[in-house]
Each structure stands twice: as structure tokens, then as C-alpha cells.
């Protein structure tokens, strides 16, 4: 079951909310835990066992670490064990096909190269659970001893499939207090509708355009290549930030205050700033649990360069098991090193529009690497973007999408900036009825899109 499915919107979520609001406080976490297990089992009846195993393992090892620390015994073996287990599980399910193929090429062996079906949300709930154990080890939080409360956290359906990566310390109080009231329910509903609209009315429309261009079969003109890359750049943002908005909205309805996962990354004036605004729960995870333990930037220049490369290689590998992902990570490592040590002063002196253009061009070329698992396809598109491998400067396909997609493109550019947010906040303060009508129209249009268009899963679920 997914947050953008009709089953979730009209059946699962209303039932869970009614039960959650009706039962006494001491039973709310049980409702959350059972609902989350059902939510996951709906789409992954086999892999729900793996999700439960992960929750139980991290629950028990966190208690073991806390007990050892109180007795002044080393908890390092327990921490190492949980890290090794998490790496093994991730590696087995995400990278088996890739690694077995590499071994076959190197050693001439005959291992099966068929990739295993990736359990939904594996990367997200593994990182979430691991952050909890590490925080217990670092004494940033006490181990949770109530198994139901921990299961409610570890399996929380709102952020199970594609994040954000919610840390236990950030919602511990919410797991016990459950601040639920009508104004928060309304706030959560608005946020959910906003995310649903981003997904259905923007990301899914861009997805159909991208698919049509791909299916055209002919070589792209230079303008078509730029339209294609721009559409993907906007699609991945609205798809992923839309999911995050929906997850945060559901969390609000259930009394949780999740941290923001996106902060208008496409208005950034440097790539460094972009990564402070994009998928903040993941970049924050690597910062706190990899980059800083390696020494961060409080080391020699050479060690700092090493730390950046390690973090970004791991970030790329986290996304997938094809060569384009670690290369994508290295691409950003090089740019971030350049902005830190080579052309930092140059970027800072650029006018705002020029700095944003510089950033967006580099980000779009990054998405070019990210989206293409074939080097030939990536090289061909790169050549088309520069006009070398293009069939022409502009063709009928480009003209068609410039005419039919101009309104969609303009809306995407506006929605990717804080302009609409500021306007909506003013409306919420002054015109409550108008605000309700606007969100109602957005909701109805989104439901219409779900009913009449082909189903589009969230892009980041594949990671």
C-alpha cells in the first residue's frame, strides 16, 4: 500500500485516524504498530518478516548496549554487530545482482546475476533503526524498553516507503504525549493534499511527457534533450518532495512533528547550498554518522578531501547498485571540493541569478548521470544537450512540448520556489473559506488524476 493509492486515502487512513483518536492514550502506539505492520504487509507480505526482524534486532541490541554501558562494559561489539548486520542485509538485497555480475566478469564464475526484489523502504527503515542504536551508543537517548512503543517508531507507516529518515530522539516525546487536536489534523490534511497534488498534478504529468519522449524512438534534437532533462529535474523534485509532504502531513494528523526534508533546493546559489536543502534527512544522516565521525572538516586538507569522497561514494551507493550511482556521488564530491577549495570566491561574487543558473546546470547534469544506467545513453544525451549528437537544433517533438507543456513548466518553476507558499500562508491567515476551497479543488483534481491516469509509483521507492 502506498500513500498515493485510493485504498490508502479512502480506506486505510480514515480507519486508522478514527481508531487512533478514539482509543485511550496508552493504546495509541499499539494502533500505530499494528496499522503499520498491516500497511507494509499489504504490499510486501513476505518481506514484512524482514522489517519485523530489523525492528526486533535493533530494539534488543540497543537495550544490550545501554545495559553494558551502565555496567561500564564495552558496547563496541554490539554496535559493530548491528552495523555489520545492516550492511549485510542492505548489500544482499540491493547489490547481489551487481556484485555477482562483477565477480563473474573478474573470476569467470557462474553466479546468478538476477537482482533480488528489493523490499520496499529497506534503505530508509534500516538507516532509521541504525541511527537509533548509534544514538543510544553515543548516549544521546536512552534505549526504548517498551517493545510496542519501539515498534510504533520502527514501522511507522507514514515514513516507511520513502522517508524521511526520522530519528527516534526527534519524535520520542510525540510517541508518549500524542498531541492530537483538530487544528493539527487540519494542518496535516493540508500538507498531505499539497504533497498529493505535487505528485499527481505535476510529477506524474512530467513522467508521462518523459515516457512519450523516450518512446518516440528517434534521436533527440538539442531543444528536445533540454526539455527532457528539465522535465526529469522537476519530476524527481516534485515526486520526492511530494511524498515527503504527504508523510509529514500524515505524521501531523497522528501527532508527530517530522523535520522538513526539502527546503526549496532549486533556489540554491551553490551546489553546497543545494545539498543543504535537498533530502535533508539523508544528508544529515551521512553528516552525523559518517562525515563527523571521520573528522568532518576539523582535520587536515587531505583528510577532509578523503572524508568528502567517502561520504559521497556511500551516498551514491546507497541509491543503487549500478555504476552510475557511485559515479554520481563522485561527481558531487568533486564539485563540493571545488566549491570549498578552488572556486568558492568566484561563486560567491556572482549575481544571484547567475549563481542559481550555475547551480541548476550542475544539478541537471548530475541528474543526467543519476537517471541513466547506460553509459552510452548518458553520453548520447550529453552530446545532444551540447548540440553535437543532436538530430537538429529543434524538431517537431520539441515544438509540440513547448506548446503543450509551457503551462506545466511555468507552474513547476513557480511551485519550486517559495512564492506560492508565501501566497498560501497569507490566504490561510485572511481567507479561510477560500483556502479550504483551493485545497478541496487540489484534492479533487488529484483524485481524478489517480482514477483516470495510469498508476505512477514514487521514484524514490526503488532506492
**Nearest Cα to Cα of residue 127 among 282, 241, 335, 304:** 282
Distances (CA, A) of 103 to 99, 110, 116, 268, 327: 6, 9, 17, 41, 20
Q: Distance between CA 438 and CA 81 in Å, rounded?
A: 52
304 is a catalytic site residue: no
Instruction: For the beta carbon of residue 98, count every other beta carbon within 10 angstroms.
Output: 18
Residue 454 DSSP label: P
CB environment 202-229: b (16+ within 10 A), e (fewer): bbbbbbebbeebeeeeeebbbbbbbbbb
**Nearest Cα to Cα of residue 162 among 41, 24, 282, 19:** 282
Q: Distance between CA 372 and CA 136 in Å, rounded?
A: 39
Q: Which candidate in 58, 279, 304, 319 is catalytic?
A: 319
Is residue 293 within 8 Å of residue 287, measured between CB atoms? no
Q: Distance between CA 252 and CA 259 in Å, rounded?
A: 11
Q: Distance between CA 319 and CA 315 in Å, rounded?
A: 7
Active-site residue list: 319
Amino acid at each position: 500500500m502506498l500513500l498515493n493509492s485510493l485504498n490508502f486515502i479512502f480506506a486505510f487512513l480514515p480507519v486508522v485516524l478514527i481508531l487512533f483518536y478514539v482509543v485511550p492514550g496508552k493504546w495509541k502506539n499499539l494502533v500505530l504498530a499494528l496499522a503499520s505492520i498491516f500497511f507494509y504487509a499489504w504490499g510486501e507480505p513476505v518481506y514484512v518478516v524482514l522489517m519485523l526482524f530489523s525492528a526486533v534486532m535493533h530494539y534488543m541490541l540497543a537495550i544490550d548496549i545501554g545495559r553494558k554501558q551502565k555496567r561500564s562494559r564495552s558496547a563496541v561489539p554490539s554496535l559493530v554487530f548491528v552495523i555489520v548486520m545492516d550492511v549485510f542485509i542492505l548489500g544482499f538485497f540491493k547489490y547481489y545482482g551487481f556484485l555477482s555480475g562483477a565477480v563473474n566478469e573478474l573470476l569467470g564464475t557462474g553466479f546468478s546475476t538476477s537482482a533480488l526484489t528489493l523490499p520496499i523502504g529497506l534503505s530508509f527503515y534500516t538507516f532509521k533503526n541504525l541511527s537509533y542504536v548509534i544514538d543510544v551508543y553515543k548516549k544521546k537517548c536512552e534505549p526504548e524498553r517498551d517493545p510496542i512503543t519501539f515498534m510504533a517508531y520502527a514501522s511507522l507507516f507514514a515514513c516507511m516507503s520513502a522517508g524521511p529518515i526520522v530519528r527516534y530522539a526527534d519524535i520520542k516525546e510525540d510517541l508518549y504525549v500524542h498531541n492530537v487536536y483538530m487544528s493539527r489534523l487540519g494542518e496535516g490534511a493540508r500538507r498531505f493534499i499539497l504533497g498529493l497534488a505535487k505528485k499527481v498534478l505535476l510529477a506524474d504529468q512530467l513522467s508521462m511527457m518523459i515516457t512519450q519522449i523516450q518512446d518516440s524512438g528517434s534521436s533527440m534534437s538539442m531543444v528536445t534533450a533540454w526539455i527532457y532533462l528539465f522535465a526529469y529535474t522537476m519530476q524527481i523534485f516534485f515526486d520526492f518532495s511530494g511524498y515527503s509532504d504527504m508523510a509529514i502531513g500524515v505524521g501531523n494528523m497522528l501527532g508527530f512533528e517530522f523535520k522538513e526534508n526539502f527546503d526549496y533546493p532549486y533556489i540554491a546559489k551553490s551546489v553546497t547550498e543545494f545539498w543543504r536543502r535537498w533530502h535533508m534527512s539523508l544528508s544529515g544522516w551521512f553528516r552525523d554518522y559518517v562525515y563527523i565521525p571521520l573528522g568532518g572538516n576539523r582535520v587536515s586538507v587531505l583528510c577532509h578531501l578523503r572524508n568528502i569522497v567517502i561520504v559521497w561514494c556511500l551516498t551514491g551507493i546507497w541509491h543503487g547498485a549500478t555504476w552510475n550511482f557511485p559515479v554520481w556521488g563522485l561527481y558531487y564530491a568533486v564539485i563540493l571540493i571545488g566549491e570549498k577549495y578552488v572556486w568558492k570566491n568566484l561563486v560567491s561574487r556572482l549575481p544571484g541569478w547567475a549563481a542559481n543558473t550555475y547551480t541548476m546546470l550542475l544539478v541537471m547534469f548530475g541528474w543526467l548521470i543519476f537517471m541513466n544506467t547506460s553509459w552510452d545513453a548518458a553520453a548520447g544525451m550529453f552530446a545532444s544537450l551540447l548540440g553535437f549528437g543532436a538530430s537538429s537544433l529543434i524538431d517537431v517533438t520539441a515544438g509540440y512540448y513547448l506548446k503543450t507543456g509551457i503551462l506545466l513548466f511555468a507552474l513547476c518553476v513557480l511551485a519550486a520556489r517559495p512564492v506560492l507558499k508565501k501566497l498560501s500562508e497569507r490566504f490561510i491567515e485572511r481567507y479561510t473559506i477560500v483556502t479550504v476551497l483551493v485545497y478541496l479543488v487540489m484534492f479533487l483534481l488529484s483524485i481524478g488524476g489517480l482514477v483516470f491516469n495510469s498508476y505512477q509509483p514514487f521514484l524514490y521507492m526503488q532506492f
